[in-house]
Structure 1
Amino acid sequence: MAMLEVKDLHVHYGVIEALKGINLEVNEGEIVSLIGANGAGKTTMLQSISGIKKKTSGDILFLGESIFKKNPKFIVQKGLTQVPEGRRIFTGLSVYENLMMGAFLRKDKKGIQQDLEKVYAQFPILKERINQDASTLSGGEQQMLAMGRALMAKPKLLLLDEPSMGLAPILVKEIFSIIEEINKQGTTVLLVEQNAKMALSIAHRAYVLETGKVVLSGTGKELAESPEIQKAYLGG
């Protein structure tokens, strides 16, 4: 059974149809990438899954249960967490406080402490900057903080929206190797990314979105080798 199933999903912004009957699934243990141009509906897709965006019709199943009408709090508690586009860290709060915000729905003090140690092991730079105001971090460090904060919710499925946005190429590589590491440690990942080359290089499977529709899907390797995709997204 798929961990996440999106069935014939339609979403509108007023009269404009942003998603036009999307079908996709994410199986446990996978990294699935969603690529497409700006305005293709990638962010709308993630916001619909995480309960931020109101849906018109269709269904979304997570761990076999419909979350179509559920609120974001319920969805996070069920094990699905999103790292938003633009990172959205809490400025005015320290790195430590930001990380603890990720765990605010949890009651298991011991588990929270263990996960905090895990996050520090994954992102040593955050441990060094534990008491700094999060706004003083560089873009790459803020992205790591946003990912660390999401991991503090102990997600089964992590949604990542444009993690490489605005980062230098060397940092993009680092962020992507961290995503692979998080996946190896047991977290399933659904990744929305404009950097199609990187997104396909780590994806088990991928979907291509164009103007609110899935136009292609396959393994990351298949899509990376498709002449169509190379021409449209990989500058080939």
Structure 2
Amino acid sequence: MLELKDLNVSYGAIHAIYDVSLTVNDGEIVSLIGANGAGKTTILHTITGLKKSMNGSIVYNGNDLTKIEPSKIITLGMAHVPEGRHIFPAMTVGENLEMGAYIRNDKDGIQTSVKEVFERFPRLKERRKQLAGTLSGGEQQMLAVGRALMSRPNIILMDEPSMGLSPLLVKEIFNIIKEVHKQGITVLLVEQNAKMALSIADRAYVLETGHISMSGEAKELLNDEKVKKAYLGL
């Protein structure tokens, strides 16, 4: 479904991503873990076209994303839940969800999708006319996920969905990710909470200062001594 091969990305003179190669197969949850500043968000931004690569390829269902405008990538069935949520604070919850469906023309289908989001997130239904900027952090994260679902994606890229949330809400967000996956949506998850990320993933990659240092089955990495010491606080 998604394949990165020998990807290199820089910020001016700073070489941020070195020869990164990874794959995400249809129906998987793949986690990309690593310390803050390792380059995880940069990789997601490069996949979705927000950041240009120096070289290497990003192929999604046969399409080379490095040659496609960012505004067109979402039409291929890819959605991005960005770090920091980036909901529209001055718009209502309902309006935010409608913005997630801006590429669609099926009004009845859009309303059906809104109902599906509200079934998944009852708190959002209660606040559908409330300004998104007044929601709690957990509710804003739910809104960001719900907005992404409105485009009916085949794959969702999630960037630090648990950031800044209480332990109880972190558990709830990861349950939501598992439920989204059960709907048949593939997930590429970038997350600093390595234990939670590895516990729900099929496979995972470890990113260290811009390069992949380890990869494999998530359960194996969860029990790897190096990973435990570096990322699990054990």
Deviation of 1:111 (Å): 1.8
How far apart in 2 are the matches of 1:49 and 1:38?
19
Quote the residue 1:225 is aligned against: 223
Cα contact 1:10–1:18 (8 A) shared by 2: yes
How far apart in 1 are the matches of 2:44 and 2:82?
9
Deviation of 1:110 (Å): 2.1
Q: 1:179 aligned to 2:177?
A: yes
Q: Given residue 222 of structure 1, which amino acid in structure 2 is its aligned partner?
A: E
Give the 5 Å matches for 1:34-113. 34-113=32-111
How far apart in 1 are the matches of 2:139 and 2:36?
25
Quote the residue 1:141 is aligned against: 139
SS at match of 2:66: coil
Deviation of 1:141 (Å): 0.2
How far apart in 1 are the matches of 2:223 and 2:67?
38
RMSD: 0.6
Structure 1 spans left out of the alignment, 5+ residues: none
Quote the residue 2:112 is aligned against: 114
Cα contact 1:206–1:219 (8 A) shared by 2: yes
TM-score normalised to structure 2 length: 0.99
How far apart in 2 are the matches of 1:16 and 1:145?
34
TM-score normalised to structure 1 length: 0.98
Deviation of 1:219 (Å): 1.1
Give the alignment partner of residue 195 of structure 2, picking from 190, 197, 203: 197
Give the alignment partner of residue 155 of structure 1, picking from 143, 153, 156: 153
Q: Given residue 84 of structure 2, which amino acid in structure 1 is its aligned partner?
A: G
Moved over 4 A (4+): none
Give the alignment partner of residue 216 of structure 1, picking from 214, 217, 234: 214
How far apart in 2 are the matches of 1:115 and 1:188?
18
Give the alignment partner of residue 21 of structure 1, picking from 10, 19, 22: 19
Cα contact 1:52–1:71 (8 A) shared by 2: no
Cα contact 1:161–1:191 (8 A) shared by 2: yes
Give the alignment partner of residue 4 of structure 1, picking from 2, 5, 14: 2
How far apart in 1 are the matches of 2:70 and 2:52?
11
Deviation of 1:69 (Å): 2.1
Deviation of 1:186 (Å): 0.8
Aligned sequence identity (%): 61
